[in-house]
Chains A and B, each alone.
Chain A
């Protein structure tokens, strides 16, 4: 009997152009035949895995740019999903969209195929910041896309924003936040810019201003809280009950199957990643498997969980990857409490404000070398 996964991730590796800060896997030049092979393989892999894709909690279609698929492609793609996957009643089915490639027809198709959450890449509403990011979507495209989505009946909508961009001042970020808040959405993701290796941006700039970024991070929480939006993870904010279940579950160590080039999976024991190369993925290149001892895996899961504001309930910690980490890692927890990176609260261990800002230091405590 196959253990069913908790969630499913699907990677759509197509973009109109590559943004200067982005290191997600995607391609811009693609032949029709490649796209057809891609869709065919997604379908057959879903079919092969269908036994373990039952009663799923969530599906997340990310990219790249899923909205870049044409209507017929999207139809085929969504049909593949619906043919081979079953979902539980309170499911979440998210699709990432780029305001510049989404249309009313696509939105309707998504809605009619069971998609109930959209995530829009906005990044910034100011031209200055967008141009540093090499991001082409305009503010009016964003307005239009959001209006359409709301009209067509989507409620659960997120937009992604980036701060700490070179040249961006605190006032610019405040303006971005005000504009974003005016859409009155239930969810926002706000990321401090990371200069990822091998990106155009990393070649141009060597570092970001950490001081300013922390000020912006504080401003984000402050402004969003006025609209009942609470930070529930380092870079994510939502109205009560509107957090992204898919990501939340992954942070808490739930299993998921990832399909598509560069997609990763976790079955509770091992992780594996598909090759970051569309052609090779189509050719059937084997995934890279990352198998680590239960103790390290438990450490990894725990440190990811501490990225969420609610952290871990002690009862959860009693069984992580088959280990009673509450006792096994009690020294580490004590050290972290002493360093004021985590604290005890109502039978839970939660990150402090400082613990969120130093999440990588918390994670390092669970690296055993």
Chain B
């Protein structure tokens, strides 16, 4: 296919505005999938994606489209995730495109991630096609959307396409706009005759090795070509190239300007880095393409096997998982309470939850995760040069030796209906943030810019924002350096024993309330036992919170006769199985999802 007939774009939007459903309609309309094969949000093919109704991983698709002018186009698009944890997937996807289909839920209007994603697209110089989706909804308010789009996105309202992914309205208009408005793939300014393909993403197949998702910028790739990874300088022979239609479908070549996959017997994802440039071994390019900024984890937490004997299996499973999700990091560590396990880095709380779930389900691991932490920068007295990064509260040096601790801060864009401005400002203050500015979005909405400690965001800021604004508020954030703060280590004691896995680093002024809340929540999630369990929060030896889980009075089935024996045993087996899947700390059983529950349940 000539470049002239190739179009590449990403579908971007705030979470849940209908990206994947629009993708369904596009694939249906172009007969990329038959009506029989089609299911709702069919690109969300991971179990977790389907269950939660969200996109976790970017999904590329190639389709053929015959335009109204009777010309055949190859259209490559990438359906991106809307959740802020996966923002890096959006920016990588955009690097493979010339255009972006910006979906806006016509009932919700522009939201925080809409703005963030538009900014990313603009930065990359992409053509944006705005689509007001869900106009079938009675609450759809196109006028509000037009105003917002002009005000904050600076996009003329005339460019908007009205659509409903539910009814199929506007899908043809979208396809026509794609071929008309999005430019064809550009020629490279230099070395245009040499092969340059950008690795946008990758996945791992146990039989075929690494599968690279690539955008060919110049020249083309065919099976049997010898290629070179420019970052590692390693050479490989191409085994197969193809496109996602939406299943992997081999093709003869990946033409210049197109998007597809490449398999080359690469056994380790470390050998083909996302963002690296693939070139030809015989005729290599000199300059690689501009890659991606490395994404660093925002949140850290320990993951430990419930059964210590599972350590090696867990390690193996994490390795496998990482092959498909390089943004997840892990490193061996040990805990007095939990034994041997791993300190893991995640992009955010949702990412953390998803990794834990995948380990449980796809790899059948029984694991417990500790209270999440961020990376603190610790400076010792009399030594201002050396900074000690601390991602685990247990490793915080003796407080008397610490000069100061700095914590990561973020800059948040918070979009809310104007009525809630007071309440949200109060929340920001409560979470130790500073409001940096406000801007009107339209008559009824404002965008607040605020600086907040990352840790507060990780814990519950977003949930609180949602509940204060009755679901109308949305937020986006990006890292904004480090700031000193009076931070202390809060320790949690179970039956007088400090449990390292429960420790966390908190602001001095919040330590007591955080300690109380943690104790209360632990009381809720730890099951009652035959004896009373004391839960205490302590800061530097002084107790700031105390809760008691009262002892169970009985655990007996009153009536048990001959007929009940087999049934009884099955019940007991289930119970025991359940307990085996809890982590024993001393004599106390802690359920696997204790911390997720604690974080979830906050208010």
Contacts and interface: CB of A to CB of B under 8 A. Distances in A.
Interface of A: 9, 191-194, 210-211, 213-214, 217, 234-235, 247, 250, 256, 258, 262-264, 266, 271, 273, 290, 292, 296, 300, 304, 307, 339, 354, 356-361, 363-364, 367, 369
B401 interface: no
Contacts of A304: 560, 565
Contacts of A361: 530, 555
A162 to B, nearest CB: 9
A356 B576 contact: no
Interface stretch (B107-115, B541-549, B567-575): B567-575
A369 B576 CA distance: 8
Contacts of B207: none
Contacts of B569: 292, 296, 300, 367
8 contacts: A263-B563, A264-B566, A300-B565, A304-B560, A358-B530, A359-B556, A360-B555, A360-B575
Given A235-B559, A364-B572, A364-B576, A264 B553 contact: no
Nearest to A355: B556
Given A364-B572, A364-B575, A357 B566 contact: no
B573 A264 contact: no
B578 to A, nearest CB: 11
A191 B559 CA distance: 7
Interface in B513-559: 530, 552-559
Contacts, number: 86
Given A194-B558, A234-B558, A369-B577, A357 B563 contact: no
A288 to B, nearest CB: 8
A273 B566 contact: yes
A9 B562 CA distance: 9
Given A357-B554, A361-B530, A363-B572, A256 B580 contact: no
Nearest to A340: B530
B587 to A, nearest CB: 10
A304 B577 CA distance: 20
Interface of B: 530, 552-563, 565-566, 568-569, 572-573, 575-577, 579-580
B566 A290 contact: yes
A358 B555 contact: yes
A193 B575 CA distance: 20
A277 B555 CA distance: 31
Contacts of A339: 530
Nearest to B575: A364
A360 B556 contact: yes
Nearest to B531: A339
Contact of B554 (A213, A235, A264, A271): A213
B555 A357 contact: yes
Nearest to B579: A364
Nearest to A274: B563
A304 B569 CA distance: 10
A213 B572 CA distance: 22
A367 B573 contact: yes
**In the complex, the 7 A-B pairs of residues with the closest C-beta atoms, listed nearest first:** A192-B558, A357-B554, A359-B556, A214-B553, A191-B558, A250-B562, A290-B566
A348 to B, nearest CB: 20
